[in-house]
Amino acid sequence: MLNNRTVAAALLSATLALPAMAQFQKPEDAIKYRQSALTLLAAHNGRVAAMANGRVPFDAKVAAENAALVETLSKLPWAAFGPGTDKGDTRALPAIWAEPAKWQQAITRFQTDAIALNTAAKTGDLEAIKKASGALGQSCKACHDSFRGR
């Protein structure tokens, strides 16, 4: 059965053409890149989440701008988890490379929820943003629980 997640995942596969190989000269470049992308993701997701949680006043324009960035950034980190990037200054767990299907599933879930947050934010409906932000937060947490060490 086709559901929203399936459709979104298919769209992602079609549009995410940034080639995964040969982007980084050294493993440490890939690690620095993916950490940078995840730092920006956390910052911009955090700005939406702060509004969703009522910690800062809701501003629909700011929420939409940050959610759009979250969707754009959600595509970036994953190509930098290539072979040989499991060692070094990284909290990435071996499960990323040992369980590629589960890893890919976590990425797809995250990206799908990032798209849903952006879609919700474009409507300016705070209740929809709250729901989408909560789902995205759960995606972040689930992936960190399985694939990120301390």
Distances (CA, A) of 71 to 20, 84, 90, 98, 149: 18, 27, 24, 27, 25
Asked if 35 is part of the footprint of a second copy (rule: CB under 8 A), the reply reads yes
- For position 18 contacting a second copy by CB under 8 A, the verdict is yes
Among 6, 13, 39, 123, binds a second copy (CB under 8 A): 39
Is the Cβ of residue 27 or residue 135 nearer to a second copy in the bound state? 27
Is residue 69 within the footprint of a second copy (CB under 8 A)? yes
Token pair recorded at residue 71: 């969707």
Q: How far apart (Å, rounded) are the C-alpha atoms in residues 6 and 106?
A: 13
- Residue 144 sits in the site that holds a second copy (CB under 8 A): no
Distances (CA, A) of 117 to 6, 12, 80, 125, 139: 16, 15, 24, 11, 12
In 3-state terms the chain splits into helix, strand, coil percentages (rounded to 5) of 70, 0, 30
Candidate list 12, 60, 62, 93; residue touching a second copy; CB under 8 A = 62
Q: Could you say whether residue 19 binds a second copy (CB under 8 A)?
A: yes
From residue 88 to residue 127, what is the string marking binding to a second copy with x (rule CB under 8 A)?
----------------------------------------
Nearest to 128 by CA among 145, 116, 111: 116
Considering the complex, what minimum distance in angstroms separates the CB of residue 102 from a second copy? Answer: 27
Give the residues lining the site for a second copy (CB under 8 A).
17-19, 22-23, 29, 32-33, 35-37, 39-40, 43, 47, 56, 61-62, 65-66, 69, 72, 76
